[in-house]
A and B are shown apart, each in its own frame.
Chain A
Amino acid sequence: MLSENKKTLTNLMVPLLSVVLGLILGAVIMLGFGYDPIAGYQSMLKGALGSPFYIGETLRYASPLIIIGLGFSVANSAGFFNIGLSGQALMGWLISVWVAISLPDASAFVVLPLSVLAGILAGAVWAGIAGVLRAYFGTSEVIITIMLNYTALHLTNYLIRNVLTDSSDATSRIPEQASLRMDWLSQLAGGSRINAGVFIAIAVTILVWVFMTKTTMGYEIRAVGLNSFAAQYAGMNAKRNIILSMLISGGLAGLGGVLEGLGTFSNIFVQAGIPNIGFDGLAVALLGLSHPIGIVFSGLLFAMLKIGGASMPLGSGVPTEVVDIVIASIIFFVGANYLIRFFMKKFSRGKDVKGGVE
């Protein structure tokens, strides 16, 4: 039995350590290719936090990641691996933009909440399909959500080309009233694309934390995830909880997509492949140990790597390909951390049982 303090400490140490290890491996790779890792990381740091503009961009990039990561964590608490966050986010993006451009003359008070809600709903429905199939037919949510990623991708591209536009690759821009952009905020952040998504991410973090720890529904979802037999014994409705957790998970992923549509890009365009944002959100949740605070920090870290990494070719001459390898190696350790933790837990659990009282 580890004491609570010691447990919290290891919980914090493991992700921190994996980030440090990732940075070291990244440095070794840069050295191997003949680039100066110190200059490289300096320009990365500068590119992520070096000016109000970069800070704004980092926060802008982190917001949907955090929300999507939270979405993953809710399904994960119920015992589901929602790997379809990308498709759900894409649906949220598509529908929110669609609603926004369909109502060019409505006031902000109507069109903004309407498009945001429609986007959330779209993500929820997309994940809900997997939830219902799982609850009533026992199908694997992993396979269904992966498949729905493709369905979302091709459906979106078809609709953009054939319905939303006349065979164009991008929709028109959303009306000003439907935008999440806030002029004062952009100006404060040196003209970056930072938008109200930042505040939405903060609010959602608090809401998810309250929901999971303070409400009966959150308690039920955790119970179902930890021991579905005991949950059934206690009269909890397993089917309802499965579907509910998937709806929330997908709704949050959809909201992440809304931020892309109404905040970052102001439109939707044909995607070459399944957007990375869902998989990054999943990694953010895993690195953040599925805990809201952890997810906020790991979301910020991911954003710093991506936004800061973009400055590395210019700032230090490290080519984009090597930057991607460096970022990937850091993310690799994030994934390995999950593995290491998995093995550590297995190992120490074996030991704990024997070492416990009895």
Chain B
Amino acid sequence: MPDTANVIEMHGITKQFGSFKANDNINLTIRKGEVHALLGENGAGKSTLMNILSGLLEPTSGEIIVNGKKVNITSPSAASRLGIGMVHQHFMLVDKFTITENIILGTEKTKLGFLERRAAQKEIKELSERYGLFVDPSARVGSVSVGMQQRAEILKTLYRGNDILILDEPTAVLTPQEITELMNILKSLTDEGKSIIIITHKIEEIKQVADRCTVIRRGKSIDTVDVKQTSQQELADLMVGRSVSFKVDKKPAQPKEPVLTIKNLVVKEHRGLEAVKDLSLEIRAGEILGIAGIDGNGQSELIHAITGLTKVESGTITLEGKEIQNLPPRDITETGLGHIPEDRHKHGLILPMTLYENMALQTYYKQPFSKNGFLNKEAMKESARHLIEEYDVRTQDENNTAESLSGGNQQKAIIAREISRGPKFLIAAQPTRGLDVGAIEYIHKRLVEQRDNGKAVLLMSFELDEVMNVSDRIAVMYEGKVVGIVDPAKVTEQELGLLMAGSSLEKALGSQDGKESAHVK
């Protein structure tokens, strides 16, 4: 159990980037032996605060007290000397080095100029056994799982003798089993007197693992609460600053005519194997069709084929009565497609370009954004300002680059661009990946709103919750085929899970009485 000694006190921390205050007078105290969660929306300033604590950034003002002494943390190594170590969201590991080499990197002990590999290996083994951090010390980082890479990162901080660990979004990349393991590791670390700060926007995890939680909203520290005495709903409301609903509020769908019809579609992936096999699907106006499935069962290829980014081998795709398979992407877009792509950094945005240039990415060649081949930048900016306002994209202004925005705001910018064009058919692929509850709620609302406006929406997500809450029908994909179409109101998570794992519809629903009830005709 944590005692009351404070290992870290941060007082009045302010960090200014230009005219933007990323941190505004933040206070934070960490007790010895506790797991302290930093909760906040994307872009609230959590990472900035932790980058200050770990020496990557210097605060504009404010003071930091570590173990009772006022300190200036000027570099990560200075932080490490104070016992503070950070595990970044994107791991700082050398792929071609072994785990041992990575852990000792920067603190190598040598004898006569030779690396004392064996001694290091022994020490790492001891540490890993003591805290249940299982790793294969001689494996190359590039060939081990993400979970093991993370454990190696944690070992790295322990190897340096750090007893205050900062974990930035530690669960974002982990499988459910790995998350459970991580939670156990955190327990054993705090049992040994280590203090842990985890940065997250996942409230469930905070409930599971944290003792106290400090909520940061728009750069300010709002409150520090005892996690046991605070409900998930209260935490969510604190984080967003208003009451949020986890349930998607929607009326029953009123599907009308089919907007997109796919018949016997075959798509090959880049290695030449069939990723989509003889798939047929229909999406109607006024409904959200969810596509559920485990990653890698042909969902991405299906979407790339519809949007013209991948070649179709055979079969037809009909959008608004026009066959669009193998047409250039722009022709498909013009036929009435909006596409929120799965990878917003790869396809969705041109990160070094300004926001207004990004927001005109699909319309720049049309009036009023250009005329006779000349851009009308004023019109582009004007429209971007409107979209920023309407879709609550948080940025200084439209001249900022897309890369300066947080993930949630980048996603809002893409959604603004795609929805505002008024396409009859909207594809949302993993639209809420990596976003916080506030942003997720917002995006779901927008999708439902599109449906209610008579648009057809295709939602592809690996999050079961999302598919079940937002969709009106769910098509389950397994090995390139639709293995069943079910009604989200009647199907259980277990049944969906079985379908996703390859069971036939009859088998998955067979054990139930309402055999046909979940099946949508």
Contacts and interface: CB of A to CB of B under 8 A. Distances in A.
B406 A230 contact: no
A355 B17 contact: yes
Contact of B352 (A1, A226, A358): A226
Interface in B24-79: 42-43, 45-48, 51, 56-57
B364 interface: yes
29 contacts: A1-B17, A1-B18, A3-B17, A3-B18, A214-B374, A219-B357, A226-B353, A227-B346, A227-B350, A230-B346, A230-B347, A230-B361, A231-B350, A233-B329, A233-B347, A233-B361, A234-B330, A235-B328, A235-B330, A235-B331, A235-B333, A237-B328, A354-B56, A354-B57, A356-B47, A356-B48, A356-B406, A357-B406, A358-B48
A226 B349 CA distance: 10
* 5 nearest A-B residue pairs (beta carbon): A235-B330, A3-B18, A358-B406, A233-B347, A235-B329
Interface in B340-392: 341, 346-353, 357, 361-362, 364-365, 370, 373-375, 377
A244 B46 CA distance: 45
Nearest to B343: A229
Nearest to B304: A233
Contacts of B498: none
B119 interface: no
Nearest to B410: A358
Interface string A43-69: 000000000000000000000000000
Nearest to B331: A235
B481 interface: no
A236 B349 CA distance: 14
Nearest to B22: A357
A232 interface: yes
A234 B362 contact: yes
B20 A223 contact: no
Given A216-B365, A358-B406, A226 B370 contact: no
Interface residues of A, number: 27
A129 B18 CA distance: 47
B499 to A, nearest CB: 31
B375 A354 contact: no
Interface in A337-358: 351, 354-358
Contact of A226 (B43, B47, B331, B350): B350
B350 A230 contact: yes
A55 B199 CA distance: 63
A357 B353 contact: no
Given A214-B375, A230-B348, A230-B350, A357 B364 contact: no
Given A222-B353, A355-B56, 14 more contacts: A1-B17, A3-B17, A215-B370, A215-B373, A215-B374, A215-B375, A219-B375, A227-B350, A233-B329, A233-B361, A237-B328, A356-B22, A356-B403, A357-B43
B402 to A, nearest CB: 10
Contacts of A3: 17-19
Given A214-B375, A217-B373, A223-B353, A354 B88 contact: yes
A358 B47 contact: yes
Interface in A255-273: none
B404 interface: yes
Interface of A: 1, 3-4, 214-217, 219, 222-223, 226-227, 229-237, 351, 354-358
A358 B374 contact: no
Contacts of B290: none
Contacts of B404: 1, 356-357
B339 interface: yes
A235 to B, nearest CB: 3
Contacts of B365: 216
Contact of A234 (B51, B361, B373): B361
A357 B348 contact: no
A4 B19 CA distance: 11
Nearest to A224: B350
Given A230-B350, A233-B339, A351-B56, A216 B407 contact: no
B353 to A, nearest CB: 6
Nearest to A237: B328
Contacts of A4: 18
B364 A216 contact: yes
B357 A357 contact: no
- Centre residue among B43, B350, B375 by max chain A CB count within 10 A: B350
A293 to B, nearest CB: 19
Given A226-B350, A227-B350, A229-B346, A355 B328 contact: no
Contacts of A219: 357, 364, 375
Contact of B351 (A216, A227, A231, A235): A227
A358 B362 contact: no
A233 B339 CA distance: 9
A238 to B, nearest CB: 11
A223 B349 CA distance: 10
A235 B347 CA distance: 11
